[in-house]
């Protein structure tokens, strides 16, 4: 990552082994073990009062998987390091992302966070019932929206899957003793499922729990994401670009914020490029985009295919009072959205 | 000797190295969380964490455990020693903190320490009952935090803190209001009064509408100002942020960047806050001027960043726990100087035409060097017209440059409030911001979110 303008470089690796024993008075006895490994690299460049950062494979501490040390080898941090340093330095000379309503193509890493914030949290049924109102917030969804609410375009298919190989939200049983499973959350753009506990599932008369997780022995289980995926569509990344005469491609999260009902969001990314006549053009810095959840997902007109689909885990999902931090994974392929506001200015 | 210090002394005795330090963090707490009108997710915690650091030939290793038996401490010591053996020598390692004189601080209250789970639940019930017909969401919590640090170089210090907080969001499908109170004396926290404040605020939010995005004059209540300043401080008031040029103060210390009515400091010893005697490296905490009458005056340091800065820079006693240390030091006791306004109504008069913001939600730093932060308003956003707080507004997205927010400040209130800023992740470490309400000439709204209500 060495470069004359790169002032700070950092690399992080993490490894965790967890042993968990759940015993309940209604007969559950579950003993589970899991191993997580992950890591990432960052380069911060600065010159003449401009500061830019580039990360790999993702920002905010890298990516993790329920896997052994081989995952670190697969990430290839040393292989990607020269590119990360060069791009951090190049951003110093890039133009600022302009303000415009335009076509936006989002890479899989940023789209994973978009999915996390604007789908994963609002489908937590405890939030819908208000138990997180004072802190994390509630949801724009209502219990009777199931089966009828249009969440996004017909290309939007989302699943919650606590059996995904290597997922940080993968287990045999959740922290209420409910077996892991895969279930549809959004099918063809229509809301089909919530993340539930046994108690909230009974209240709504749908679902069977399976999403209760505690981050430590001294915290109570809460409804949490497990592994939440945007199912792939078809075609390649280049195919996404091919239908764009004039747009923006964004990559790697830098900032994130969403309102208490998970409607109004604003994300910033580390890097962007113009899309000109179906090809990537100039690098842009300080890219941001903003929108309202159902309208945004409704504007999605293409999702790349299985060959572009990536799974990554994050370890900083906060919820609850006292606070708890969950480890969850998301899979997504790059996708294209029409008519998105980019370039929010202070 | 405190129980925590006794554990720290046993821990350093269990390890061998050129230098060894143990930091002990004990928590006994209860949090009675409630939603609608019921207590749920009640959590009682009694835990102790020992962080051991071993230095051998310039190589540093550490381990942590909550097993404080002799066997448990020996195992932790072996892991710290092994970690040091396996670590490369760190040429930037400034050494462990040595013995020093720790400041005397307040911050412990027998009555608060003695609160039982039943009494915590009674205080939660008081909040629930006081909000009337509206649903109430929030918690009452109190706890005792014992901190102790000991080193083979003679360092030995301990402190016991208490804290209590009542936090209430009152609302229904169409309204919502927020209030909180915190102190190291539970007797100063009135959950019923907090709930009444939240309910009164909620009642005024019905029918909140949209406004056009743009730059507005605004009044920020202490709840809002404290959170905005905390996020600004991550990079800007942080010595490492200054060295890494992500601070808005980089290259600008000594310059007048803000309205002269603005003075901000870190006041870790102030009994009006949640005072603390030493930091997570075992260094004595010191007050640090950050903004002095509009002039960028200083930043906070830990041992590693101070050593890297050179030129005689010393730690100010603002080291964070080890897992957060790569990001630098942090001001856990921000304090904003009061102004002359008698009330928030007087601030609204100074604003004339603008918006009134109670509380913020989900902040994120967009451009650290420029101090640009985005987030949402919630639980009490209003229009200010003709110098008075007027009709309610929807939740608004803001994207502001904090230096711009503080560049023209028509006024601040004389009264200040301690606002809890801990969300109680990990081990309990109560901290907050002491601040007034503030009027600004520049608060940029960049979008409109949902209407008031849950």
For residue B138, the distance in angstroms to the closest alpha carbon of chain A comes to 5
Q: What value does the mean pLDDT take over residues A19-35?
A: 96
- Do the Cβ atoms of B219 and B351 come closer than 8 Å? yes
pLDDT at A207 over 80: no
Put simply, the answer to whether A44 touches B246 (Cβ < 8 Å) is: yes
Q: How confident is the model at residue B37 (pLDDT cuts 50, 70, 90)?
A: confident
Dihedrals phi, psi of A258, to nearest 5 degrees: -150, 150
The chain A residue lying nearest B372, using CA atoms, is A346
Which pLDDT belongs to residue A86?
A: 98
Q: How confident is the model at residue A285 (pLDDT cuts 50, 70, 90)?
A: very high
Best residue of B357, B423, B444 to probe chain A, by most A CBs closer than 10 Å: B423
Which pLDDT belongs to residue B92?
A: 87
User: Would an 8 Å CB–CB cutoff place B314 in contact with chain A?
Assistant: no
Q: Coil, helix or strand for A52?
A: strand
What are the chain A neighbours of B251 within 8 Å (beta carbons)? Answer: 49
pLDDT at B196 over 80: yes
For residue B101, the distance in angstroms to the closest alpha carbon of chain A comes to 34
Put simply, the answer to whether A263 touches B449 (Cβ < 8 Å) is: yes
pLDDT at A27 over 80: yes
For residue A263, the distance in angstroms to the closest alpha carbon of chain B comes to 7
User: Which residue in A7, A49, A218 is closest to B47 by CB distance?
Assistant: A218
The chain B residue lying nearest A220, using CA atoms, is B41
Which pLDDT belongs to residue A304?
A: 98
Q: What value does the mean pLDDT take over residues A98-105?
A: 98
User: Which residue in A51, A255, A323 is closest to B246 by CB distance?
Assistant: A51
What are the chain B neighbours of A110 within 8 Å (beta carbons)? Answer: none
ipTM value for the complex? 0.95
For residue B234, the distance in angstroms to the closest alpha carbon of chain A comes to 14
| Closest among B28, B78, B96, B422 to B279, alpha carbons compared | B96
Tens digit of pLDDT for each residue in B82-116? 999 999 998 889 999 999 899 999 999 999 999 99
What average pLDDT does chain B have? 97
Tens digit of pLDDT for each residue in A316-329? 999 999 999 999 99
| A62 contacts: CB under 8 Å, gap ≥ 6 | A12, A13, A14, A38, A39, A40, A41, A55, A56, A75
Q: What value does the mean pLDDT take over residues B237-258?
A: 97
Size of interface A-B (CB pairs under 8 A): 154
The span from the CA of B293 to the CA of A166, in Å, is 54
Put simply, the answer to whether A133 touches B35 (Cβ < 8 Å) is: yes
Q: How confident is the model at residue B268 (pLDDT cuts 50, 70, 90)?
A: very high
For residue B223, the distance in angstroms to the closest alpha carbon of chain A comes to 13
pLDDT at A205 over 90: no
Q: Which domains does chain B have, with CATH numbers?
A: 3-201 (3.30.2290.10), 214-448 (no CATH)
Best residue of A319, A321, A324 to probe chain B, by most B CBs closer than 10 Å: A321
pLDDT at B69 over 80: yes
User: Would an 8 Å CB–CB cutoff place B333 in contact with chain A?
Assistant: no
Which pLDDT belongs to residue A136?
A: 93
For residue A154, the distance in angstroms to the closest alpha carbon of chain B comes to 25
> Residue ranges of the alpha helices (H) in chain A?
70-75, 77-91, 108-115, 125-128, 198-204, 237-242, 293-298
The chain B residue lying nearest A287, using CA atoms, is B366
What are the chain B neighbours of A135 within 8 Å (beta carbons)? Answer: 423
3-state secondary structure chain B: CCHHHHHHHHHHHHCCCCEEEEEEEEEEEEEEEEECCEEEEEEEEEEEEEEEEEEECCEEEEEEECCCCHHHHHHHHHHHHHHHHHCCCCCCCCCCCCCCCCCCCCCCCHHHHCCCHHHHHHHHHHHHHHCCCCEEEEEEEEEEEEEEEEECCCCEEEEEEEEEEEEEEEECCCCEEEEEEEECCHHHCCHHHHHHHHHHHHHCCCCCECCCCEEEEEEECHHHHHHHHHHHHHHHCEHHHHHCCCCCCCCCCCCECCCCCCCEEECCCCCCCCCCCECCCCCECCCEEEEECCEECCCECCHHHHHHHCCCCCCCCCCCCHHHHHHCCCCCCEEECCCCECCHHHHHHHHCCEEEEEEEEEEEEEECCCCEEEEEEEEEEEEEECCEEEEEECCEEEEEEHHHHCCCCCEEECCCEEEECCCCCCCCCCCEEEECCEEEEEEEEEEECCCCCC
Q: What value does the mean pLDDT take over residues B257-284?
A: 98
Put simply, the answer to whether B425 touches A325 (Cβ < 8 Å) is: yes
For B87, the token pair is 């670590």
| A169 contacts: CB under 8 Å, gap ≥ 6 | A162, A213, A224, A225, A226, A227, A228, A326, A327, A328, A329
The span from the CA of A135 to the CA of A180, in Å, is 28
Which pLDDT belongs to residue B36?
A: 86
Q: What value does the mean pLDDT take over residues B162-185?
A: 97
List the 413-452 stretch of B: residues with Cβ below 8 A of A: 423-426, 428, 444, 446-450
% of chain B exceeding 70 in pLDDT: 100
What average pLDDT does chain A have? 97
Which pLDDT belongs to residue A264?
A: 96
pLDDT at A11 over 80: yes
Q: How confident is the model at residue A148 (pLDDT cuts 50, 70, 90)?
A: very high
Which pLDDT belongs to residue B2?
A: 87
Q: How confident is the model at residue A206 (pLDDT cuts 50, 70, 90)?
A: confident
Strands B354-367 and B214-220: parallel
How is chain A split into domains, by residue range? 1-93, 95-114+235-318+325-342
Q: What value does the mean pLDDT take over residues A90-117?
A: 98
Q: What value does the mean pLDDT take over residues A117-130?
A: 97
- Cα torsion angle, B69, B75, B76, B77, sign: positive
| Closest among B39, B8, B195 to B118, alpha carbons compared | B39
Give Cα separations from A319 to A239, A332, B42, B450 (angstroms). Answer: 38, 23, 15, 21
């Amino acid at each position: 990552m060495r470069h004359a303008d790169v002032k700070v470089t950092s690399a992080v690796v993490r490894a965790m082994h967890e042993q968990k024993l759940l015993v309940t008075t209604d007969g559950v006895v579950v003993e589970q073990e899991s191993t997580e490994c992950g890591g990432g690299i960052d380069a911060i460049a600065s010159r003449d009062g401009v500061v830019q950062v580039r990360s790999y494979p993702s920002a905010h501490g890298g990516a993790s998987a329920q896997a052994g040390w081989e995952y670190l080898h697969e990430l290839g941090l040393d292989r990607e390091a020269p590119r990360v340093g060069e791009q951090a330095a190049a951003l110093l000379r890039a133009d600022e992302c302009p303000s415009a309503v335009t076509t936006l193509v989002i890479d899989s890493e940023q789209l994973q966070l978009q999915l996390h914030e604007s789908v994963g949290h609002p489908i937590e049924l405890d939030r819908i019932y208000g138990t997180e109102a004072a802190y994390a917030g509630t949801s724009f969804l209502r219990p009777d929206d199931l089966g009828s609410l249009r969440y996004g375009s017909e290309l939007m298919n989302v699943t919650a899957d606590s059996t995904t190989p290597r997922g940080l939200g993968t287990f045999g049983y959740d922290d209420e003793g409910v077996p892991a499973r895969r279930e549809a959350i959004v099918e063809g753009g229509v809301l089909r499922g919530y993340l539930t506990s046994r108690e909230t599932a009974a209240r709504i008369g749908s679902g069977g729990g399976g999403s209760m997780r505690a981050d430590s022995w001294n915290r109570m289980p809460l409804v949490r994401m497990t592994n939440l995926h945007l199912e792939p569509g078809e075609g390649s990344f280049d195919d996404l670009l091919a239908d764009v005469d004039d747009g923006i491609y964004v990559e790697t999260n830098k900032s994130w914020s969403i309102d208490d009902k998970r409607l109004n969001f604003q994300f910033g990314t580390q890097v962007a490029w113009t899309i000109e006549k179906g090809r990537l053009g100039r690098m842009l810095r300080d890219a941001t985009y903003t929108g309202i959840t159902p309208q945004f997902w409704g504007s999605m007109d293409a999702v790349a295919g299985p060959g572009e689909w990536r799974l990554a885990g994050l370890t900083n999902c906060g919820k609850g009072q006292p606070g708890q931090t969950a480890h969850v994974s998301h899979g997504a392929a790059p996708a294209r959205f029409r008519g998105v506001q980019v370039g929010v200015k202070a | 000797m405190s129980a925590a210090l006794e554990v720290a002394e046993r821990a350093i005795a269990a390890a061998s190295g050129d230098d060894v330090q143990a930091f002990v963090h004990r928590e006994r707490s209860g949090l009675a969380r409630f939603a609608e009108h019921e207590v749920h997710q009640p959590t009682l915690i009694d835990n102790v964490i020992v962080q051991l650091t071993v230095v051998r030939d310039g190589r540093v290793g550490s381990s942590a455990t909550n097993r404080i038996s002799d066997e448990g401490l020996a195992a932790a010591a072996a892991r710290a020693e092994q970690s040091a053996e396996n670590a490369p020598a760190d040429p930037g390692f400034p050494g462990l903190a040595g013995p020093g004189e720790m400041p005397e601080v307040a911050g412990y209250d027998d009555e608060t320490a003695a609160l039982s789970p039943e009494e915590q639940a009674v205080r939660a019930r008081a909040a629930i009952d006081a909000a009337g017909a509206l649903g109430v969401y929030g918690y009452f919590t109190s706890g005792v935090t014992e901190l102790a640090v000991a080193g083979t170089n003679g360092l030995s210090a301990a402190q016991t803190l208490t804290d209590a907080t009542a936090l209430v969001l009152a609302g229904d499908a169409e309204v919502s209001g927020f209030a909180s109170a915190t102190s190291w004396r539970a007797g100063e926290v009135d959950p019923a009064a907090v709930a009444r404040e939240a309910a009164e605020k909620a009642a005024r939010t019905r029918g909140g509408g949209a406004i056009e995005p743009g730059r507005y004059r605004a009044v920020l209540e202490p709840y809002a100002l404290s959170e905005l300043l905390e996020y600004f401080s991550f990079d800007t008031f942080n010595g490492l942020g200054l060295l890494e040029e992500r601070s808005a103060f980089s290259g600008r210390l000594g310059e007048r960047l803000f309205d002269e009515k603005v003075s901000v400091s870190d006041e870790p010893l102030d009994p009006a806050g949640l005072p603390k005697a030493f930091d997570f490296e075992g260094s004595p905490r010191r007050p640090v001027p950050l903004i002095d009458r509009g002039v960028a005056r200083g930043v906070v340091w830990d041992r590693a960043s101070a050593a890297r800065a050179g030129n005689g820079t010393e730690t100010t006693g603002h080291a964070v726990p080890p897992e957060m240390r790569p990001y630098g030091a942090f001001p856990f006791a921000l304090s904003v100087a009061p102004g002359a306004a008698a009330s928030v109504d007087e601030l609204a008069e100074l604003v004339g035409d603008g918006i009134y913001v109670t509380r913020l939600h989900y902040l994120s730093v967009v451009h650290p060097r420029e101090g640009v932060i985005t987030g949402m308003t919630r639980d009490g956003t209003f229009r200010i017209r003709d110098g008075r707080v007027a009709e309610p507004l929807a939740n608004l997205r803001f994207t502001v440059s904090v230096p711009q927010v503080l560049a023209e400040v028509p006024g601040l209130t004389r009264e200040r409030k301690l606002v809890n800023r801990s969300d109680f992740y990990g081990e309990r470490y109560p901290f907050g911001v002491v601040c007034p309400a503030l009027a600004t000439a520049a608060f940029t709204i960049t979008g409109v979110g949902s209407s008031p209500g849950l």
